[in-house]
Amino acid sequence: MTTVGVLAPQGDGAEHCAQLHALGAAPREVRRRSDLDGLTHLVLPGGESTTLAHLMRLFELWDPVIELHREGALALFGTCAGAILLGRGPGATPQRMELLDAVVRRNAYGRQLDSFCRAVETDGLGTLPGVFIRAPRFTELGPGVRAIGSCGGETVLVEADGLLAATFHAELAGCASLHRYFLDAVPPAGGAVTASRDSGARPR
């Protein structure tokens, strides 16, 4: 059975929860270690990556999330700042989980004023709305990371074992397609995708 949570100490977790509710799921807001109990899936939202990393450590979430994923018990979906946390930095940095074998560069498109909305072309999910707000860039992908979405010829959506990461926000445009995909097709690392999994998700 799929049970999904959304990291809630900071960022746009409410928008992710709204899209999950639209699918018929019952997302749990995750603010402390005990909120992780029983989860199979966790969304790491956009926000400010260094603040999110600080708060995850403060509330004793950082190490448990990493351990649960590495044990094959927790699938992770990061958008914007969440993707930054999952990946690697161009240099040594303590604000990265380094679970995703990809280099993710912060604020790669410029300042807040340089934010934009643009269509994202995907493999199998059609065209998605992409909201890029001080967005990062994937500058290097490891061999186990698959590019499944692009914008202007640039990779903006990737998948790996038990991981989904986007440099954009679809949830801010009211699109639940990525959340449906995360619940239905991205099992915890090493898990098997089965059509009978009870994610509570319903096509719209």
CA dist list (Å): 71 to 64, 88, 162: 10, 20, 11
Question: Is 169 annotated in the active site?
Answer: yes
List, in order, residues 6 or more apart from 103 with CB less than 8 Å away. Answer: 87, 88, 89, 90, 138, 139, 140
Catalytic residue among 80, 151, 159, 175: 80
- Pick from 36, 46, 56: nearest CA to 16: 46
Task: Say if CB 38 and CB 1 are below 8 A apart.
Answer: no
Question: Is 179 annotated in the active site?
Answer: no
Catalytic residue among 41, 169, 175, 179: 169
Question: Is 15 annotated in the active site?
Answer: no
The pairing of beta strand 163-166 with beta strand 154-160? antiparallel
Distance CA 133, CA 11 (A): 12
List, in order, residues 6 or more apart from 36 with CB less than 8 Å away. Answer: 5, 30, 42, 61, 64, 65, 68, 74
Distance CA 174, CA 186 (A): 21
Catalytic residue among 69, 151, 171, 179: 171
Distance CA 151, CA 84 (A): 18
Catalytic residue positions?
Answer: 80, 169, 171
